[in-house]
Amino acid sequence: MTTPPDEPVIRVEHLTKHYGGGLHRPGRGSGPIRALNDVSLEVEPGEIFGFLGPNGAGKTTMIRTLLGFLHASSGTATVLGHDIATESVALRRKVGYLPGGMAVYGSLTGGASLNYYADLQQREPVRREELAERLQLSRADLGRRVRDYSRGMRQKLGVIQALQHDPELAILDEPTEGLDPLMQLAFYEVLEDLRDAGRTIFMSSHYLGEVERVCSRVAIIRAGHLMAVQHVDELLARRKRRVSLRWRGAAPDLSEVPGIADVVATRDRITATLSGDVAPFVRAVASPSLVDLLIEPARLEEVFYEFYAGEDHDGPGGPG
């Protein structure tokens, strides 16, 4: 069954997951660990969707619940049209999954490991050769036992096993953990090619730069609560940019320029913050006397810190 093009690949409605009931946690008393609290979201076909939060925010719990490895305390969800509570085995056969810190059989070779995972999926590994080449895992590497692999090589193996059968949906938990910068770039290009081919990617991460680079939409989770689900561009548009200007001679008064705030003037220099569209600001300050203009790009990192201001990152979100 292929998901109809007008139906979400993932639909989550009021999903809640609490662990335990009488657990005692030093400094936090006893009671259930509230890992997910009333989470609702949809992931559309053909998008790279980022699930963003620090360690302990609920990312891994969300993924394991979507795949049926954990049972929700309340709420519902479907993945590729399958109910996660009653059809988890069927959906896992269709999804490519990379768990965080994937366990491997060290006595198997890399190639044998990939064959084993392909047998579990009951799908032909039609992308294996291409992925191994792009991620620089050679035939000789695949002939070695996995126990001799470096951390980065194990992560490459994990990525390949998740994507080798060309799944309609890939769910990836911290996929670039352990990859060097060059391999991260190669991985991003793989994701972009999969998106262009109509595949859907749901990836968790706490690396803000990679989410900003490859994801079209992002959900931000904090202590099990969903704080935002928006297009990355929309989130960035909310941020004020830092601007710095230098003139030949005394700096003019910019107090009436649209979008400008927090102005600090020192002789020929001005620093300020800018909200809204950049173009009207550039037109307003354009002058033969303007020597230098620096507009820092809005970064997802700053949006993220807004949501987490004052948060204890080991807070009540509980496991993953």
Write the DSSP assignment of 29-76 as a string of letters. EES-EEEEEEEEEEE-TT-EEEEE--TTSSHHHHHHHHTTSS--SEEE
Residue 2 lies in a domain: no
Q: How far is CA 166 from CA 129, 163, 315, in A?
A: 12, 5, 37
Q: Look at residue 179 in the predicted model and tell me its pLDDT.
A: 93
Confidence of residue 317 (pLDDT cuts 50, 70, 90): very low
Share of the chain above pLDDT 90, in %: 59
| Among candidate residues 141, 147, 54, the one with its CA nearest the CA of residue 160 | 141
Cβ(275)–Cβ(240) below 8 Å:
yes
Cβ(262)–Cβ(273) below 8 Å:
yes
Residue 265 is classified by DSSP as E
For 68-105, the pLDDT digits (tens) are: 999 999 999 999 999 999 999 999 999 999 998 888 89
pLDDT at 23 over 80: no
Share of the chain above pLDDT 70, in %: 88
Looking up residue 33, the CATH number of its domain turns out to be 3.40.50.300
Q: Look at residue 315 in the predicted model and tell me its pLDDT.
A: 40
Looking up residue 268, the CATH number of its domain turns out to be 3.30.70
User: Which sign does the torsion angle of CA 137, 139, 143, 144 carry?
Assistant: negative
Query: Are 210 and 256 in the same domain?
Result: no
- Please tell me the total count of domains within the chain: 2
Query: What mean pLDDT is reported for the chain?
Result: 87
Query: What six digits make up the tokens of 265?
Result: 């003037």
Q: What domain range includes position 277?
A: 240-296
Q: What is the mean pLDDT of residues 22-26?
A: 51
Q: Look at residue 213 in the predicted model and tell me its pLDDT.
A: 87
Residue 4 lies in a domain: no
Q: Look at residue 154 in the predicted model and tell me its pLDDT.
A: 96
Q: Look at residue 122 in the predicted model and tell me its pLDDT.
A: 87
Query: Are 172 and 265 in the same domain?
Result: no
Query: Are 69 and 95 in the same domain?
Result: yes
Among 28-32, 59-63, 235-239, 285-289, the range with the most confident prediction by mean pLDDT is 59-63
Residue 213 half-sphere exposure toward CB, CA atoms < 13 A? 13
Residue 120 lies in a domain: yes
Whole-number Å distance between alpha carbons of 10 and 203: 12
Whole-number Å distance between alpha carbons of 63 and 156: 20
User: Which sign does the torsion angle of CA 221, 227, 228, 232 carry?
Assistant: negative
Minimum mean pLDDT range among 1-5, 237-241, 310-314: 310-314
The residue ranking higher by pLDDT, 142 or 299, is 142
The helix/strand/coil state of 312 is coil
Query: Are 159 and 200 in the same domain?
Result: yes
pLDDT at 40 over 90: yes
Q: Look at residue 26 in the predicted model and tell me its pLDDT.
A: 54
Q: Look at residue 252 in the predicted model and tell me its pLDDT.
A: 84
Residue 3 lies in a domain: no
Residue 318 lies in a domain: no
Residue 313 lies in a domain: no
Among 18-32, 118-132, 245-259, the range with the most confident prediction by mean pLDDT is 118-132
Count of helix runs (H) and strand runs (E) in the chain: 11, 16
For 163-212, the pLDDT digits (tens) are: 999 999 999 999 999 999 999 999 999 999 999 999 999 999 877 778 88
- Sequence-distant (6+) residues with CB within 8 A of 139 are none
The residue ranking higher by pLDDT, 136 or 121, is 136
For 217-234, the pLDDT digits (tens) are: 999 998 899 998 989 888
Query: Are 147 and 289 in the same domain?
Result: no
Residue 146 lies in a domain: yes
Query: Are 244 and 229 in the same domain?
Result: no
Query: Are 169 and 146 in the same domain?
Result: yes
Confidence of residue 18 (pLDDT cuts 50, 70, 90): very high
Query: Are 152 and 280 in the same domain?
Result: no
The residue ranking higher by pLDDT, 29 or 10, is 10
Query: Are 259 and 136 in the same domain?
Result: no
Residue 319 lies in a domain: no
